[in-house]
Amino acid sequence: MSSILYDAPGPVARRRERWGSIIGGLILLGIIALGVYYAHGRGVFGADRWDVLFDPPKGQTAADVWTSMIVHGLGATLRAALVAAPLSLVLGLVLAVWRTAGRWWVKAPAIMIIELFRGLPVLLMMFFGLLGFGWSAFTAVVFGLTVYNMAIIAEILRAGLASLPRGQAEAAYAVGLSKTQTLFTVLLPQAVRTMLPSLIAQLVVLLKDSSLGYIVGYAELLRSIQNNGQYFGNAYYIALFVVGAGIYLVVNISLSRLAMRLQRGPIKGAPAAPADDEAEAAPTTATPGVRP
Amino acid sequence: MDVLVDNLPSYWAGFLVTMRLTLYSGVISLALGLVLAALRVSPIRPLRGLAATYVELLRNTPLTLVFFFLILVAPQFGVIAPLGFWTAVICLSLYTAAFVAEAVRSGINSVGVGQAEASRAIGLTFGQSLGNVILPQALRSVVPPMINVFIALTKNTSVAAGFAVVELVGSGRRISQGNPGDAVIILIGVALFYLAITIPLGVIASTVERKVAFSR
């Protein structure tokens, strides 16, 4: 693993490492056991702290609780993310293409937009929508997520374009493709493909940031947890939080894993097809920006 | 425009809180992140696993959820975090430390294996090869992503506005509730303060990055 720092261990070092691992593991286990013992002493594991998940009080059924969290809470989170993600992908593509324009005064606005929105907190953009423009919480959340992530995606695509060998563009010009054709049929498909892991990682960020909706009053997953906690009593916060955090972790970690897998293996054939579709479907919206 | 000038003291107070949040959390998360990175490359497997789990968990958790945990859930364990500045610092530090650790680790891994092997071959000790060969090279590739982590931290301090800390966004919200008609101008004022921090930092990061790229 850490061969950069150490030589491959010999028998003595291996034995020492094994003992270190055992002792370190025991200390770690001891700390965890102490924590569990302490939590147990406070009744954290009592059924009366967890029954909200399977047999909630106050005449509610477990189905009500789960519906409020999964259907309404997670549903609202995913709805905001699913509207914002395609929007920021398309707008990011537009900005990235706009940035490749030849003349500085044509591409200056694109650079300004990218730098501006990259440097501002997403939450501030949501407040712009909510307080500044008087939009609904949902629109404000989507607006905040979109303007920030489109700037980042534009930067990712630019890095992808910059990473391509010059020969790609030269060869495309040599066979007589126009500048627009070169960009959309030769350069962008490759850039999207190489940058796919970063793009997916950015979608994880987008999904995480949708939780900021909690602050601007959008009824998403965290808000539904808080509502349940307030209704059933503070003692249930632990159980409800475990469910909420679990949902976020499952969704985000599986997306991250997908990104890592894409990064490791070269993408050929089937997995790359969606990326191609995306790059080819976009020109209809993106072409106006590219003509100087 | 008058509303900006009239409320300059509020803006300034909010700006100072944002700066203090960034500074304190930056220092704490740097220390914590370095410890985590050291654990991640240590030869002791449980410690490696602990650090890897921490980084994986925190990187895939929204920052809002960390705040939510400390303020609403932790009291159920008997840990009562006072609502306000220091709780925000703790949350931001815990969250940012994962990203610092990741930046440091990838920096160490970016140094060629041959460098370490060569330094061991000419008889440098562990400390010498780490201090004279590996870390100076790792530092160059760590600094630009680290600056980006701190830019993100600066922006992330805004989440504290949702949890009773009146920093820039919080004071912007407060001012605009007092002057509902001018909300856009007021928020533009807030944006300018953020850009005053993030754009210079971004320029520094890209300059350093270019310098490093030339010297390779």
- Tell me: the pLDDT tens digits for B180-201? 778 888 889 899 999 988 888 8
Residue A270 tokens read as: 């089937």
Residue A265: what pLDDT? 63
Say what the pLDDT of residue B140 is: 80
**pLDDT tier, A282 (very low <50, low <70, confident <90, very high otherwise):** very low
| pLDDT tens sequence across B115-138 | 888 888 898 887 888 888 888 888
Taking CB atoms and an 8 Å limit, are B172 and A127 in contact across chains?
yes
Cα A227 to Cα A170: distance, rounded to the nearest angstrom: 59
Mutation pick from B71, B174, B187, B197 vs chain A, by most beta carbons of A within 10 Å, is: B187
Domain-located, residue B102: yes
Chain B interface includes A235 (CB < 8 A) = yes
* pLDDT for res A287: 30
Question: From the list A2, A132, A234, which residue is nearest B76 (CB)?
Answer: A234
Q: Stretch A76-104: mean pLDDT, rounded?
A: 90
ipTM rounded to 2 decimals: 0.85
Examine the pLDDT at A90 and tell me if it is beyond 70.
Answer: yes
pLDDT at A2 over 50: no
pLDDT value at residue B110: 81
Fold of A49-290: MetI-like fold (1.10.3720)
Provide the domain limits for residue B79. Answer: 18-167
Higher-scoring residue by pLDDT: B19, A13: B19
Is B56 contained in some domain?
A: yes
pLDDT-based confidence at residue B1 (cuts at 50, 70, 90): low
Tell me what the mean pLDDT of segment B145-160 comes to: 90
Q: Which among B76, B155, B187 has CB closest to A131?
A: B187
pLDDT of residue B130: 81
Q: Which two tokens stand for residue A185?
A: 């049929």
In whole numbers, what is the pLDDT of chain A averaged over residues? 82
What is the domain-level CATH number for residue B33? 1.10.3720.10
Give A53-68 pLDDT, tens digit per residue.
777 777 677 777 788 8
- Assess B133–A contact: CB distance below 8 Å, yes or no: no
Task: Give the distance, in angstroms, between the CA of residue A139 and the centroid of all CA atoms in the same chain.
Answer: 19
Q: What is the mean pLDDT of residues A93-114?
A: 89
For chain A, the structural domain boundaries read 11-45, 49-290
Greater pLDDT, A280 or A177: A177
Please give the radius of gyration of chain B, using alpha carbons only, rounded to the nearest integer.
21
- pLDDT (tens digit per residue) in B31-89: 999 999 888 887 788 888 899 999 999 988 999 999 988 888 888 777 777 778 889 99
Name the domain count of chain B: 1
The whole-number average pLDDT for the span A23-42 is: 87
Residue A229 pLDDT > 90: no
What pLDDT score was predicted for residue B47?
86
pLDDT digits (tens, 9 = 90+) for A123-147: 999 999 988 888 899 999 999 999 9
Q: What is the pLDDT of residue A284?
A: 33
